């Protein structure tokens, strides 16, 4: 009986030691993976970005008569569309790829100007596709047969490089990003926090509400947030919501991405065609895609908006005004589009640089190590942090993941066990389990030796 109990104890000890090894190994492995941004994460660099893109500079240097835009190729290398061999050699010497095309930027712009001067048709959009060297005109399902025929004739009159196609869904604004904000007009998402040097504002979509609109913070116990003091729509699509408190509060430099996490934003820039980008919204959360065109035009039912960024990122009602960003850089605010986040679609964004220039504001940034004091550099800050707690700005490096304020207490056991801070405890668990396993093996071996000696003495003594 006593031997049976010992065997049970040894087995339980071995199983506990093996379980500790597995748990400790999982903690270390998961923490190591969590410390590295995944290729599809909002903080991951992606293949290339505007900072490393020589395309725009080459286009400006060669001129609009000899080029037709630039984009980021699948290999992360900049490609410039050029109209002659000499321009192609110049692009290649500068380290970019070159593609000979037939139509220059001047011709493509002339085509879009003709489309803009034609009778307006709600439910249509167009943009220059640099990679195919053509203007793509899309018409949604609300466009009548008569308007479709007229649009097709206009395109044919301009030339064969204007392509007309039907698109799924309808082109609508996404009124209803990261944080929900509510008014009498509906629900939108806060974009980025900005300042004029005296007061702080939320930069969001213009179609969310006209000047004078009163906003409330979304979520539990949302109180008064602010009032729209400047709005541009249609034509453009941006607005300023002035905080009632005058301040955006702590965490003004982190975009909320869901699950109590956020991404630190460090600056603002214009995107490049082909660049990997991310959008956060209060309805659909975080989604990624690529920039497909710049300076796009959309004829919403409410009016025409020009100069937009066209992307493959999905969006849904309520995501309007939410932030578009990549590599820790603010790029745009959600305007509208077609489709949804189940079937996919096209989404358009107001460039954040143009909005800030028109409104004479700059993005708020919290200098690291400054105790939350606003920094001097014009870096972006995201979603309405002061709209009741967006994110802790001091919690992450530029472009990296950061916890959203107030989220830590609600972390699950799994999140705590697999977080990056679990590497040390995980190694301790592994070491303790190994010692326990070795100890049980030693005890068993010692007991076997003693049993052998007793048996030997009983038979030969």
* Three-state DSSP class for residue 190: coil
- Rounded to whole angstroms, the Cα distance separating 224 from 242 reads 11
**Predicted confidence pLDDT, tens digits, the chain (461 residues):** 555 556 665 666 666 666 666 666 665 555 444 443 343 444 443 444 455 678 999 999 999 999 999 999 988 899 999 999 999 999 999 999 999 999 999 999 999 999 999 999 999 999 999 999 999 999 999 999 999 999 999 999 999 999 999 998 899 887 653 567 887 777 888 889 999 999 999 999 999 989 999 988 875 456 888 999 999 999 999 999 999 988 887 778 777 887 778 888 888 999 999 999 999 988 888 999 999 999 999 999 999 999 999 999 999 988 999 999 998 899 999 999 998 999 888 999 999 999 999 999 998 875 444 443 344 333 333 333 333 333 333 333 334 444 444 333 334 444 444 454 555 666 776 677 677 767 766 666 666 666 656 655 555 54
Choosing from 129, 200, 237, 250, the catalytic residue is 237
- The structure's pTM equals 0.72
- The pLDDT value recorded for residue 239 is 95
Of 332, 239, 240, the closest CA to residue 294 belongs to: 332
Of 273, 297, 236, 272, the closest CA to residue 111 belongs to: 297
- The pLDDT value recorded for residue 45 is 38
* Three-state DSSP class for residue 136: strand
Choosing from 104, 320, 422, 433, the catalytic residue is 320
Q: Any idea what DSSP says for residue 73?
A: -
Choosing from 41, 140, 183, 207, the catalytic residue is 207
Q: How many CB atoms neighbour CB 456 within 10 A?
A: 10
List C-alpha distances in Å: 149 to 113, 139, 155, 156, 162. 19, 11, 10, 11, 14
- The pLDDT value recorded for residue 378 is 39
- The pLDDT value recorded for residue 3 is 57
CA dihedral angle for residue 322, residue 324, residue 330, residue 331, rounded to 10 degrees: -120
In the beta sheet, which residues pair with residue 279?
A: 287, 324
Q: How many CB atoms neighbour CB 14 within 10 A?
A: 15
- The pLDDT value recorded for residue 185 is 72
Is there a catalytic annotation at residue 237? Answer: yes
């Amino acid at each position: 009986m006593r031997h049976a109990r010992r065997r049970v104890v040894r087995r339980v000890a071995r199983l506990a030691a093996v379980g500790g090894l597995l748990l400790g190994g999982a903690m270390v492995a998961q923490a190591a993976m969590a410390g590295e941004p995944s290729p599809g994460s909002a903080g991951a660099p992606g293949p290339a970005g505007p900072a490393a893109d020589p395309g725009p500079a080459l286009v400006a240097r060669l001129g609009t008569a000899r080029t037709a835009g630039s984009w980021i190729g699948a290999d992360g290398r900049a490609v410039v569309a050029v109209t002659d061999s000499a321009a192609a050699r110049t692009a290649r010497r500068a380290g970019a790829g070159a593609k000979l095309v037939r139509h220059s930027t001047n011709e493509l712009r002339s085509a879009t100007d003709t489309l803009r001067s034609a009778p307006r048709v709600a439910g249509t959009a167009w943009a220059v596709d640099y990679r195919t060297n053509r203007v793509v005109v899309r018409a949604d399902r609300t466009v009548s047969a008569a308007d479709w025929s007229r649009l097709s004739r206009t395109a044919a009159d301009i030339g064969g490089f204007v392509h007309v196609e039907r698109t799924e869904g309808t082109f609508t604004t996404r009124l209803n990003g990261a944080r929900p904000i509510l008014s009498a007009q509906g629900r939108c998402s806060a974009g980025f926090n900005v300042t004029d040097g005296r007061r702080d504002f939320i930069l969001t979509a213009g179609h969310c509400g006209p000047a004078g609109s009163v906003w409330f913070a979304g979520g539990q116990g949302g109180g008064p947030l602010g009032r729209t003091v400047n709005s541009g729509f249609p034509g453009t699509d941006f607005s300023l919501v002035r905080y009632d408190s005058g301040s955006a509060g702590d965490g003004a430099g982190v975009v909320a991405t869901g699950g109590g996490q956020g991404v630190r934003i460090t600056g603002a820039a214009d995107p490049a065609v082909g660049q990997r980008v991310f959008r956060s919204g209060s309805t659909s959360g975080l989604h990624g895609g690529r920039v497909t065109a710049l300076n796009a035009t959309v004829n919403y039912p409410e009016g025409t908006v020009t100069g937009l960024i066209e992307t493959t990122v999905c969006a849904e009602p309520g995501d309007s005004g939410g932030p578009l960003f990549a590599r820790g850089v603010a790029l745009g605010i959600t305007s509208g589009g077609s489709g949804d986040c189940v079937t996919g679609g096209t989404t358009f964004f107001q460039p954040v640089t143009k909005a800030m220039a028109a409104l004479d504001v700059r993005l708020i940034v919290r200098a690291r190590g400054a105790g939350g004091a606003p920094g001097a550099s014009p870096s972006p800050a995201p979603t309405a942090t002061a709209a009741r707690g967006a994110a802790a700005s001091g919690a992450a490096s530029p472009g990296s993941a950061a916890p959203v304020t107030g989220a830590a207490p609600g972390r699950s056991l799994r999140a705590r066990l697999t977080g990056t801070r679990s590497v040390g405890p995980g190694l301790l668990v592994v070491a303790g389990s190994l010692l326990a396993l070795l100890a049980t093996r030693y005890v068993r071996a010692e007991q076997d030796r003693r049993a052998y000696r007793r048996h030997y003495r009983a038979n030969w003594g």
